[in-house]
A = this chain, B = another copy of it.
Amino acid sequence: MRSPADNAQLALLLEVAGTPKPGNVDRRREYDDLRFEHFLAGGVGAGTGLRAAEAGAPVGWAFEESVAGMSHQGGGNTQFGCLLDLVPLVRAAAEGRLSVTGVKRVCRETTVDDACGFYRAFDHVDVTVGDPPPDLDVPDVRRGSDAVGDLRERGLTLWDVMERSASGDGNAREWVEGFPRTFAAAAGIYDDEGPATERVARAFLTLLAQEPDTLVTVQHGSAVAREVQERAETAKRDLDAASDLADEFVEREINPGTTADLTAAAAFVALERGWEP
């Protein structure tokens, strides 16, 4: 039997194999400097941190460990956001409380030390983030471990950081709400039919059609993010149309990374619920 950490690792692999996932690296598409094998190596490298999360290590520490392990490959940031979602989900699963309420409690229980681990994780890879809005009352994540003193002085927990970031970040929003979109998408994967790679692709398209993707907003602005969302709505029931869209988005370097993060999280929950690829 696979443990929660094993299922999280498998979810990372199924996410990148899922095809077509317009704009993202998938089984059939990649970028010259961000290739399929970088995600395989990232998924394997994250294992130690995921197993630490399963065994009860602090969430922030396990997250930093998983990101550090992930970073030993030539593609740069492959699965930072996926791991941010997966670590509390793995912990909740290991504690037998993998539900909206259960994972929300894991997130609420995070401490200032967890916030420090989260910021330190930014030292290991270049994560694409936008300029923080002027009213955002947490240290800029781009400061990485330099922000640790600040976090301690102000007594900010990881929950505080996520709650204050939620309005501008799809992963942070999911975190503080108990992963409602993730659980819904997991049910979709579980009830779907066909090969794993196609189920994952349909889950990705469904999530992409629900909300503008944070990473697309950061990289291309909100008008493009809305266009991406609308076009996913049309493509989500037709993988051939999605395939054309995938070619176009790769060409335009439109990379809905936050939606891919939630897709990996959804695949994890589906595996934990008994989905057997």
- Point out residues on A near B: beta carbons under 8 Å: 1-2, 6, 9-10, 13-14, 17, 27-28, 35-38, 40-41, 43-45, 47-48, 69, 72-74, 195-197, 276-277
Contacts and interface: CB of A to CB of B under 8 A. Distances in A.
A72 B3 CA distance: 12
30 contacts: A2-B41, A2-B44, A2-B69, A6-B44, A6-B45, A6-B47, A10-B40, A10-B44, A13-B13, A13-B40, A13-B43, A13-B44, A14-B37, A17-B36, A17-B40, A27-B27, A27-B28, A27-B36, A35-B196, A35-B197, A37-B195, A37-B196, A37-B197, A37-B277, A38-B277, A40-B277, A41-B277, A47-B47, A73-B277, A74-B277
Contacts of A43: 13
Taken together, the copies of this chain in the complex come to: 2
A16 to B, nearest CB: 9
Contacts of A74: 276-277
Contacts of A2: 41, 44-45, 69, 72
Contacts of A17: 36-37, 40
